[in-house]
Structure 1
């Protein structure tokens, strides 16, 4: 029987919602699904993982050297778990965490990884985007262990109505090659960008960081939206890089995506073109963003956005 190991993404206190999407993808492979929770003081996360529907058991590994979940250490644990448990597939989200971890796992297992899967046709047959999402490629893999990263926005979150067993597993030795020096986290009361139902994004057309905040924050407040940005806006220093939406940033698929002052470079479109409704505001009638927008407004954003915000009051 097929056995799949899903790697949980978490902060030692809360299970990241993308894990629910990855488990849903894993169900399409058939067979048993286990979740690996590696951390320090992460019992609460293991209990949250145990409530996910379709999960057979949660493997909980609690050790000090997993506190920061460094990829070098977790990869050794995943490989040992796969070899001891006889797993035929390893799945992780296509997030910074997953993209950092799974190549190491695949290399140690001496198999080829399949990245950014958006559809699972069966074991060894997957669809993934290439050329910034302009072409969908079906990949065939005959590796003994299928190592996949899954695009969370391509799969619905699975229900949390299960009651899997939580099994304590021994840690493996630390790789001893990396140490966390520090971590700067952006704190916000807004929804998390990757999981938000509404996203308001700004581009270089806003001019600078102060105008970005003055123009977009009131609109985002009215809509209960997460804030995003184009790569150009991030590179210009308007906002931190965790705001970036695009091929080299976060992939989002909200119910509503509002693009303000964003021209629509191909790498940005790759990160938001799956949004249910796209609204674009730009003064350039030839901006590529209008080609994918459901609603386009050719106007000066410094006039249009405040007026829209006022109408929503």
Structure 2
């Protein structure tokens, strides 16, 4: 084994033997790219179908702490990019991964991050085909930042978007809300809170494939990440020019998450998720959508949470409360929790 260092040094970013050893033993030995060229050369039969389109997305991850219950920054980097492709109807195929590493970072930590990325990529059916590594001095970063880009293929005939949501369409989520934000908050230890909450971090490509196949009139799908479900629904309402009413009674939120939010004065509707999406389907396809989602592990908790309506007073989101009243659910202003992904 050529790499004997236990911590990253500036030499590992210098372009010489130390850098080659780090990349070879920590990254390429795990990701196994097909070549060592400066670019990945990609080919897929899926693009040969008339009407097929490429989907491309990019995202950066600066989560604090980099390891948390249910995952780490590597897992969330793969999941987040895969999900951004999947909710647009694309089949995720390839990822790139770029790392900015702080001098002094444990190399064993990097190995755990890379291992999690490989495991999640295999589970999602994607390959990490190219990447980059930079090392910065102490204090110039916080251990490691990861940027991933993803490419997928949207099959012909599938066109999803918030503008297709119509009054009467039904909103469905695949499982509980707020777990990721709550897990990150508890892991930071700032509030001396003790809670057995795992991040919901998961890739949703297989779930989206199941729903798309079962629901020909699937309108729209969005992953409810930063800003939570509330912000996601407000974005959809504004783009579709509809009102959306959700029911507090049917919202799937764990008692532990509710309790933490009550203590800290937070609203679980604004907590981040990393394995939760909301889809809008025509009323006649609700049963098919629920059945399809529940057939996949990431969708076993799928439930109807609300419905789109005519935007009489303008596009907005409201919630029917447990007491029978209603309240407006606004877009998140600012950030409840910084650096949660």
Q: Which has the higher contact order (CA 8 A, sep 6+)?
A: 2
| Fold in common (TM above 0.5) | no
